[in-house]
Amino acid sequence: MTSVAALMAWPVILPLLGAVLALLVGRPGVRLVAGVASVATLMASSMLAWEVAHQGVLHQSIGGWGAPLGIEWRADGLAALMLLTIALVGPLISVHALDHFGDREDREFLPLWLFVWCALNALVLSADAFNLYVTLELTTLAAVALIAVRRDLPGLDAGLRYLLFALPGSLCYLLGIALLYGAHATLDVGTLAQRVQPGPVTWVAAGLVTVGLCLKTPLFPLHVWLPPTYTGAPTPVTALLSALISKGSFYVLLRLWLEVFAPVMDAQVGQLLGVLGAVAVLWGSALALSQTQLKRVVAYSSVAQIGYMFLVFPMATSGARAGAIYLVVSHAAAKASMFVAVGNIHQAVGITALGGVQGLAYRMPFTFLAMALGGISLIGIPPSGGFIAKWLLLNEAIGTRQWWWALVLLVGSLMAAAYVFRILRGSFLPLPPGVTVRSIPLGNELAPLALALIALVLGLVPWFPLDLLAIGASR
């Protein structure tokens, strides 16, 4: 094995090994195995990112079979940044999960999360359209098991709902890929990009791929499964779904669209995706504002934040690409922090209504500090990753003379401010009498804060991620 092969294989192999070992050792050792696997995968991901930052794009043919026939893996700056995001955000969420679950779920949550991690890393590194389908499905299956990890009715219902929306999504994607293979006789994304021609086959294939991935991400109006699934899943799992798993399908869409479809598609299609994204921003924010359950506010906010990411398609410039990716990363940290904070609040007072936060800012300062910092990134106030992302998108909207997207960004930010402040305002009211606040382990209070700090640091030192994601951007 050459060193490049090893570098690219470890981020996938280590979580897989960890997951299998964690399943085998059972209760006493599961936390130790998962902890070691997480640290090792973080190190492997960082080493790969370091190598990409210094050497440029890395290629690897699995099993030594080259691109037209074999499966190609490719690590560019975007892939490296995604690996780092998953490796930082995921383990912090699982730290929170330790005290959230009982013994049995703990034993099952950790290996399942490692399986999701393995699948996501393989997805990020894959440069083969069919391999992308397999990794998408692996992610879905592991995610469904995670959602149902409690084996209670709401969890099972949410898991099945997710499965039955994700399956047609990946099948649409697969049919699109089959059409592309039929027309161009290749599955390698790079070769496809060279061979596609404008024409009915490409348009139908692009439509199927786009609809399928939008269903999984989800983009308005295909988001109907999201609020019930996010609400029914255990809170740490919701955090994983919103922060990382939904980004997997968006990542595939971004890659295929920018690298393969954009040059041969009519600009109107990009505009249509942008319009749907804009409606998602406004509709998701409006619904987030009208929710009475805390977790649903944060869930609908995800619909809106995903909407912003789709604004990349009508602009399709390298600046807009950077903005959308920056939003993916900072939303991963900020939204994970908010969901984990919501989990802490539920654990402390056992109230799921929005009013349950009353007076808690004084009792759980770290949780609400995290909520506020995460909220700042969602709104896009500096300094935060969300601000940098929206700034980049705003610049491109004006630079490409599509001022209407700028308007969407601004209105969306105002609405985000409204629903974030709605949560924070309640927390500073006096604690209502008769409410007992259970104390939360310190680790659980610090996990969301660490996540929120990642979103904050993304706003303070944007050079490193921005330089990284520019590597291999245009082929």
Partner 1 sequence: MNPWVLYALSGVALFSVGLVGLFSHQHVVKRILASNITGSGVLLVLVALARRVPSGPPDPVPHALVLTGIVVSVSSTALGVALARRMARLQAQATHLPEHEPRSDGEGP
Task: State the residues that interact with partner 1 by CB under 8 A.
Answer: 69, 130, 134, 137, 140-141, 144-145, 148, 150-160, 163-164, 167-168, 171, 174-175, 178-179, 181-182, 185, 187, 231-235, 238, 293, 295, 343, 346-347, 350, 352
Minimum CB separation of residue 2 from partner 1 in Å reads 26
Give me the residue label for tokens 């491109």.
396
Distance CA 302, CA 226 (A): 9
Nearer to partner 1, 72 or 396 (CB): 72
Answer yes or no: are the C-beta atoms of 200 and 182 closer than 8 Å: no
Closer to partner 1 at the Cβ: 92 or 158?
158
Q: Kindly give the interhelix angle for 200-216 and 153-184, rounded to the nearest 10 degrees.
A: 160
CA distance 375 to 347: 20
Work out whether strand 72-75 and strand 58-61 pair parallel, antiparallel, or are unpaired. antiparallel
One-letter amino acid for residue 132 of the chain: L
Helix (H, G, I), strand (E, B) or coil at 474: coil
Shortest distance, position 281 Cβ to partner 1, whole Å: 25
C-alpha distances (whole Å) from 409 to each of 195, 206, 423, 472 are: 36, 27, 21, 28
Cis peptide bond upstream of 227, omega within 30? no
Q: How far is the CB of 266 from partner 1 (least distance, A)?
A: 23
Q: Which is nearer to partner 1, 371 or 454 (CB)?
A: 371
Q: Which is nearer to partner 1, 133 or 251 (CB)?
A: 133
DSSP state of 258: I
In the complex, minimum distance from the CB of residue 5 to partner 1, in angstroms, rounded to a whole number: 22
Task: Kindly state the smallest distance separating residue 152's Cβ from partner 1, in Å.
Answer: 6
Cα–Cα distance measured from residue 173 to residue 140, given in angstroms and rounded to the nearest whole number? 14
Nearest to partner 1 of 125, 187 (CB atom): 187
Neighbouring C-beta atoms of residue 404, cutoff 10 Å:
13
Distance between CA atoms of residues 314 and 345, nearest Å: 39
Least separation in angstroms between CB 342 and partner 1: 9
**Which residue, chain included where needed, has tokens 């799921």?**
352
Residue type (1 letter), 353: A
- 128 close to 62: Cβ distance less than 8 angstroms: no
- Report the residue number, 205 or 329, with the smaller CB distance to partner 1: 205
Q: Which residue has the tokens 């660490």?
A: 450
Closest approach, Cβ 178 to partner 1, in A, equals 5
Nearer to partner 1, 85 or 444 (CB): 444
Residue 353's DSSP bridge partners are 293
- Please, which residues have CB within 8 angstroms of residue 68's CB and are 6 or more apart in sequence? 186, 188, 191
- C-beta of 179 vs 378, nearer to partner 1: 179
Residue 144 Cβ vs partner 1, minimum distance, rounded to whole Å: 6
Kindly tell me which of 129 and 275 has the beta carbon lying closer to partner 1: 129
Nearest distance from C-beta of residue 440 to partner 1, angstroms: 13
